[in-house]
Structure 1
Amino acid sequence: MAEYITQIDYLILMFIQEHLRFDWLTGPTVFISHLGNSGLFWILLCLILLVFKQTRKMGICGLLALLIGALITNVALKNMIARIRPYEQFPDIILLLERQKDFSFPSGHACSSFAAACALYWTSEQKKRLVGVLSLILAVLIAWSRLYVGVHFPTDVLCGVMIGIFSGWTVWQIIKKISDRHPVGIENSSVKEDGENG
């Protein structure tokens, strides 16, 4: 079964390499792929959001989601499964950036990107939803870039995306429960006042 999945992964990567790679697209895609290195872009974004009171909850949730995703992906699954990179298994896959030092499954870039982006999107208020939407678009581009440059199998990226979504969703649910039990802020005060007046 594992060999069958790997063969499908390989065929998809070869299709991307032969039909979807373009000289004008390679430079920007490599740059986008590097944005996800070690989750540093997402960490920096969340730290910036922490500075402002209006976006502080988003920043906290993003960092927590990144932590959960990293524990599942980089600490546990990568070392347990120890899947080698596609270019190490198949010499005809052309690598477009530096060789990676860790294992292939699942994709840490895809996981961290979707963990942070989903957390930011789900915890953002309607007026600040643009940050979440732009984060999701960037997460999709980073995940796709890992296939384009040849450092991950499609199943690596798919699993990374799913873990990232799960991490963001978990943090969102925790924050919702905490908010329900300990409502704070102007909005909650106004709701209480309206209830008393009614």
Structure 2
Amino acid sequence: MWESIVEVDQDIFRWINGLAIGKFKSFWLFVTHIENWFLLYIFFFFLLYKSFKKPVSFIAMTAVPLVVFITLSLTNLVKNGVERLRPNNEPVLMDSIQILLKPGNFSFWSGHSAVSFAVTTFVVLALRSKGMSKWIFLFYIWPTTFALSRIFVGVHYPADITVGMLVGILLGWLCSLIFFKIASRLQYAT
């Protein structure tokens, strides 16, 4: 059973990986690097700062790197426990896929997917609590594009991306619950 799941995951990966790389290599390479999203993080911090009164705004902004740290720590723990080879390191796939990056660590689950969905979920839930609900879900375009880029550059399977997304959403939600408890205590204390 497990072998057939892995085979389907590899088949879906081959299909997605081969879709649009040719003309869009530079786009996917740009999208897949976290440092290219720096301005988006600044925008998130700005929105959190403007949406909450002090000191809650500072706690909200501090929560974002904490969400990243927690998500990356759990991701690395699981990656090193599962030890699934990345597609770019899988001998069965190497000759039949397009590889734009060659990281050497393990694949399951995607840290890019987990972190981007965790941060986005935290920010969306925090801002939604302040009445920004009509357009706020458009922020999910970022982690979706960011996560898909990992398939297009040849370093993650669809299952890696999907599980990373689910873990990220869960961790972002849990961190937002903790943030709301802290924020409500601070508002009652002042």
Same topology, TM > 0.5: yes
Could you say which structure has the higher helix fraction?
A: 1
Task: Look up the equivalent residue of 1:92 and give its one-letter code.
Answer: D
- 2:5 maps to 5
Task: Look up the equivalent residue of 1:73 and give its one-letter code.
Answer: T
Is the Cα contact below 8 Å between 1:32 and 1:145 reproduced in 2?
yes
Moved more, 151-160 or 47-56: 47-56
Task: Look up the equivalent residue of 1:65 and give its one-letter code.
Answer: V
Give me the identity figure in percent: 30
**Structure 2 length-normalised TM:** 0.80
- 2:83 maps to 82
Is the Cα contact below 8 Å between 1:110 and 1:160 reproduced in 2?
yes
Larger Rg: 1
Deviation of the 1:22 alpha carbon: 4.5
**Cα displacement string for residues 113-133 of structure 1 (whole angstroms, at most 9, x for unaligned residues):** 111111111111224975x54
Of structures 1 and 2, the one scoring higher in RCO (CA 8 A, sep 6+) is 2
- Aligned match for 1:92, one of 82, 90, 95: 95
User: CA 1:48–1:26 in 2, change beyond 3 Å: closer, same or farther?
Assistant: same
CA distance in 1, matches of 2:104, 2:34: 17
CA distance in 1, matches of 2:133, 2:117: 18
Structure 2 residue runs of 5 or longer lacking an equivalent are none
Number of residue equivalences: 181
User: CA 1:87–1:64 in 2, change beyond 3 Å: closer, same or farther?
Assistant: same
Deviation of the 1:183 alpha carbon: 2.0
Asked if 1:67 is matched to 2:36, the reply is: no
Task: Look up the equivalent residue of 2:61 and give its one-letter code.
Answer: G
Deviation of the 1:51 alpha carbon: 9.4
Structure 1 residue runs of 5 or longer lacking an equivalent are 190-198
CA distance in 2, matches of 1:28, 1:46: 22
**Structure 1 length-normalised TM:** 0.77
User: CA 1:134–1:184 in 2, change beyond 3 Å: closer, same or farther?
Assistant: farther
